[in-house]
Structure formats: C-alpha cells, structure tokens
C-alpha cells in the first residue's frame, strides 16, 4: 500500500516547473507537476503515452499544431511521438501526469 498527499499549488516555483514522482510500477509512473511562470514555451516529445489532468490553475498547450486550453478539471491524453508544448501556464498550476507504455494506454472503444 502507498499513501500520500498532493503538494499545494503554492509550492510551485516562481519560475519554471517542478516534478514530483508520486507512485510508480513496472512501466508506469504518476507525477505531480507544479508550474510557475514560464519564461518560454516548454517543448516535449514523449517515447510513451501520457495522461495529464489540471488539478488547479490553467494552461495553454499546442498539440501537433492545435491550440488546447486546459482549465481546472480538464484532462488530455498525449500519444507517444506527438509533438506538444506548454505555451503558458498560470503560476501555481498543479497537474497530475500518468505515464504509461503506448500499448497499455487505450481509452474506451
């Protein structure tokens, strides 16, 4: 059994992002990401699938050329190899991110 609590949004850095691993297992991990002011967009290209949820705050992403606005409670699944960038995040934005191998990250059919 594991047990824990999310860090408060106020623990976000003034600038940039901090990532905290909350739990993990064979091939998967769950992280909390706390975003401060972003001096420039944050680019990413994953070798796995990722599901993210905005717990507090808001952000604007660009996913494979499409703008995506996320507010508290919004989630997004990003497939392996899909280019994306965080354009802006409101300082104090708290995210949950679940990283899984691409073959296990299938939603309802």
Checking if the pLDDT of 108 tops 70, the result is no
Contact 67, 60 (CB under 8 A): yes
Phi-psi label, residue 95: left if phi above 0, alpha if psi -120 to 50, beta otherwise: beta
Q: Which tens digits make up the pLDDT trace of 34-71? A: 999 999 999 999 899 999 999 999 999 999 999 999 99
Q: Per 3-state DSSP, what percentage of the chain is helix, strand, and coil (rounded to 5)?
A: 5, 55, 40
Checking if the pLDDT of 30 tops 80, the result is yes
Q: Reduced to 3 states, what is the DSSP secondary structure of residue 3?
A: coil
The residue among 109, 107, 88, 100 whose CA lies nearest residue 49 is 100
Copy the structure tokens of residue 48.
């796995």
């Amino acid at each position: 059994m594991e047990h824990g609590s999310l860090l408060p949004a106020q623990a976000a850095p003034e600038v940039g992002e901090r990532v905290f691993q909350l739990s993990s297992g064979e091939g998967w991990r769950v992280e909390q990401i706390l975003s401060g002011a972003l001096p420039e967009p944050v680019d990413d290209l994953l070798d796995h699938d990722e599901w993210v949820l905005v717990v507090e705050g808001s952000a604007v992403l660009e996913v494979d050329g499409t703008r995506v606005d996320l507010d508290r409670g919004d989630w997004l699944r990003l497939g392996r190899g899909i280019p994306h960038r965080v354009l802006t995040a409101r300082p104090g934005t708290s995210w949950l991110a679940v990283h899984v191998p691409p073959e296990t990250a299938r939603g309802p059919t």
